[in-house]
Amino acid sequence: MKCLIIAAGKGSRLRQKGGCKPLVPVLGVPLIERVIRAAMEAGVDRFYVVIGYQGEQLGNFLAHLARRLDVEITSLVNDDWAEENGLSVLKARDILDEPFLLLMADHLFDPKLVQPLIRLTLGNEEIVLGVDNDIHNSLVDLDDVTRVQVEDDGSIQCQKIRDIGKGLSDFNGFDTGIFLCSPAIFEALERSKEKESDTSLSGAVRILAAEGRAKAILLDGFWIDVDDPQALQKAEQALLKQVSDKANDGPVARYLNRPVSIRISRYLVRSRLTPNQISLFSFLCSLLAAGLFALGGYLALFLGGVLAQFASIIDGCDGEVARLKYQSSDFGGWFDAVLDRYADAFLLFGLTWHLLAQEVNGWILFAGFMAIIGSFMLSYTADKYDNLMRERIHGGAGTGLRVGRDVRVFLIFLGAVLNMVLPVLVLIAVVMNLETLRRVGVARNG
């Protein structure tokens, strides 16, 4: 699927965030890159981007991005960038002679919103607009959004567009800026320009709507027009919320660690730190915590406990930053898991050493050994168990119990700060091994 992206305007209301609007960073990634990556995830494999204001700067970025993502991106220059957006669409008239996706460079969206349009069979001389029928959407700026009046024509997939425009008082949806277009859009733009002196995209949609050739497909999901600093802030908050909602988070990660880590990640994405470097930093914090445990004395124990919990929080940042900056990789996930296993072993060994330094006792050594073994086996069974739980969630059977590393490290933290090392070490040994056996039982019956 080919895609045309309009990126020619000046974007004066967002100018304080950057001289070139499509290059304004959203959590460390330029707007236009987020749009292109989302479209690629939805199934687009070739892009045409209409540039104008700050065209040389944007064109250079797109050329570099094309090499980095290994995708074809062609820049089309609109010298009349100060005029309405329909003129930018017309720049592709001689290039796009088949159905194509039309997007706005300043509209962020969930890739899942685009997939239903790509799967549509577009009728001759038709266009289809993605419409948000949630007229109470908190991400929408009612003073600036293009409003749509949709009429149900009995179609299962699409409905007719009756009218479109920013000034509509009678409306039941919003223009998401996501279109599936046939070349008919170019002819409609020319007619709108000649008959109505209207060179806006909405003007062309109105002409096609009057002829029954403009349809709407209702979309339900995240999208936002990033047109001013307030919208930029809302977009960042929405993206942070998306990466913080992980189905396999344990209770400590979900309710304690994640609310803190996501706030830290908001600043880390603006730095040059990579996810792997964050993973390594978290591991070094755990290593230092284990060293403090081994030193002996309550102060070192307390500081070690706090540092261990801090490392657990930071351990969530690597994945968050990776997803926000499109830096996820199989190696990164594996590297993080390896460091976590080493960190757990050092932390539990540090607690065991702390007790043995006070009293040499075989039962203490056994408790420490079982805690380490239980932790390793719990981690080893996590992948199989989580996959099984995902299948049950899709089948409506509920999420089941999730005890993981977040709970383990939190228990280490409590045992250290409360100076109850032996009871917590025994508790970890019992809980981790029993949970491993429970998972074996669940998998056997699943």
Final residue in a domain of this structure, among 203, 228, 253: 228
Residues 171 and 315 in one domain: no
Residues 107 and 150 in one domain: yes
Residue 373, Ramachandran bin (φ over 0: left; ψ between -120 and 50: alpha; else beta): alpha
DSSP reduced 3-state for 304: helix
Residue 308 near residue 416, CB atoms below 8 Å: yes
Residues 327 and 209 in one domain: no
How high is the pLDDT of residue 7?
95
Residues 71 and 214 in one domain: yes
Q: What is the pLDDT of residues 265-290, one digit of tens each?
A: 999 999 999 999 999 999 999 999 99
- Mean per-residue pLDDT for 224-252? 89
Residues 176 and 77 in one domain: yes
Residues with Cβ < 8 Å from 351, sequence gap 6 or more? 293, 368, 412, 415, 416, 421, 424, 425
Give the residue carrying structure tokens 């890739």: 111
Residues 180 and 318 in one domain: no
DSSP reduced 3-state for 416: helix
DSSP reduced 3-state for 399: coil
Tokens found for residue 339: 């460091």
How high is the pLDDT of residue 281?
98
Task: Check pLDDT > 80 for residue 382.
Answer: no
Give the domain extent around 71.
2-228
- Distance between CA atoms of 278 and 300, rounded to whole angstroms? 24
Residues 189 and 250 in one domain: no
Confidence of residue 156 (pLDDT cuts 50, 70, 90): low
Q: Is residue 240 a part of any domain in this protein?
A: no
- Distance between CA atoms of 92 and 157, rounded to whole angstroms? 28
Q: Is residue 301 a part of any domain in this protein?
A: yes
Q: What amino acid is encoded at 36 in this protein?
A: I
Average pLDDT for the chain: 90
Q: Is residue 343 a part of any domain in this protein?
A: yes
- Distance between CA atoms of 173 and 221, rounded to whole angstroms? 13
How many other C-beta atoms lie within 10 A of the C-beta of residue 436?
22
How high is the pLDDT of residue 155?
59
DSSP reduced 3-state for 48: strand
Q: Which of 225, 288, 236, 289 is nearest to 265 (CA)?
A: 236
Residues 172 and 299 in one domain: no
Task: Check pLDDT > 90 for residue 322.
Answer: yes
Q: What is the pLDDT of residues 121-151, one digit of tens each?
A: 887 789 999 999 998 999 999 988 999 999 8
Residue 368 near residue 425, CB atoms below 8 Å: yes
Alpha-carbon torsion (119, 122, 128, 133), positive or negative: negative
How high is the pLDDT of residue 233?
94
Which CATH number is 190's domain given? 3.90.550.10
Element (H, E) at 402: none
Final residue in a domain of this structure, among 228, 262, 280: 228
Q: Is residue 237 a part of any domain in this protein?
A: no
Q: In Å, how far from its chain's centre is CA 33?
A: 13
Which CATH number is 312's domain given? 1.20.120.1760
Final residue in a domain of this structure, among 228, 254, 276: 228
CB-based contacts of 116-120 (< 8 A; 24+ apart in sequence) = 116/217, 116/219, 117/178, 117/179, 117/180, 117/217, 118/1, 118/42, 118/43, 118/44, 118/180, 120/157, 120/158, 120/180, 120/217
Q: Is residue 233 a part of any domain in this protein?
A: no
Residues 207 and 289 in one domain: no
| pTM of the predicted protein model | 0.86
- Distance between CA atoms of 320 and 310, rounded to whole angstroms? 16
Q: What is the pLDDT of residues 8-33, one digit of tens each?
A: 998 888 877 878 999 999 999 999 99
Q: What amino acid is encoded at 141 in this protein?
A: D
Query: End-to-end CA distance of the chain, in Å?
Result: 40
How many other C-beta atoms lie within 10 A of the C-beta of residue 384?
14
- Distance between CA atoms of 202 and 117, rounded to whole angstroms? 19
Backbone angles phi, psi at 321, to 5 degrees: -65, -40
Q: What is the pLDDT of residues 75-103, one digit of tens each?
A: 999 999 989 999 999 999 999 999 999 99
Strand partners, 187: none
Q: Is residue 160 a part of any domain in this protein?
A: yes
Residues 201 and 253 in one domain: no
Q: Is residue 321 a part of any domain in this protein?
A: yes
Residue 134 near residue 171, CB atoms below 8 Å: no
Residues 192 and 59 in one domain: yes
Confidence of residue 444 (pLDDT cuts 50, 70, 90): confident
Task: Check pLDDT > 50 for residue 394.
Answer: no
- Distance between CA atoms of 280 and 293, rounded to whole angstroms? 20
Residues 147 and 173 in one domain: yes
The more confident residue out of 440 and 37 is 37
The tally of domains found in the chain comes to 2
